[in-house]
């Protein structure tokens, strides 16, 4: 059997054997680790804009 196919089958079987609770925990951790969408799309510009608006309101 092709080694790549063997690897794919083994990884698929491992994923299928993981309990649903553990999958939910991993998904939640991944979601918490992710950056906000505004930073991902526009970089630091939303933060800079927010700080400028906050500074202007303060005065």
Render pLDDT for 2-55 as a digit per residue (tens, 0 to 9): 999 999 999 999 989 989 999 999 999 998 888 877 777 787 888 888 899 998
Name 47's Cβ contacts closer than 8 Å, sequence gap at least 6: 39
* pLDDT score of 59: 67
Domain residue spans of the chain: 3-58
pLDDT at position 6, please? 94
pLDDT at position 7 is 95
pLDDT at 33: 87
Higher model confidence: residue 58 or residue 10?
10
Gap between the Cα atoms of 6 and 47, Å rounded:
47
Predicted local confidence at residue 40, as pLDDT: 74
């Amino acid at each position: 059997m092709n080694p790549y196919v063997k690897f794919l089958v083994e990884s698929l079987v491992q994923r299928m054997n993981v309990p649903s609770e553990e999958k939910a925990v991993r998904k939640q951790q991944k979601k918490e680790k992710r950056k906000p969408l505004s930073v991902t799309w526009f970089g630091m510009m939303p933060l800079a804009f927010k700080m400028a608006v906050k500074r202007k309101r303060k005065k």
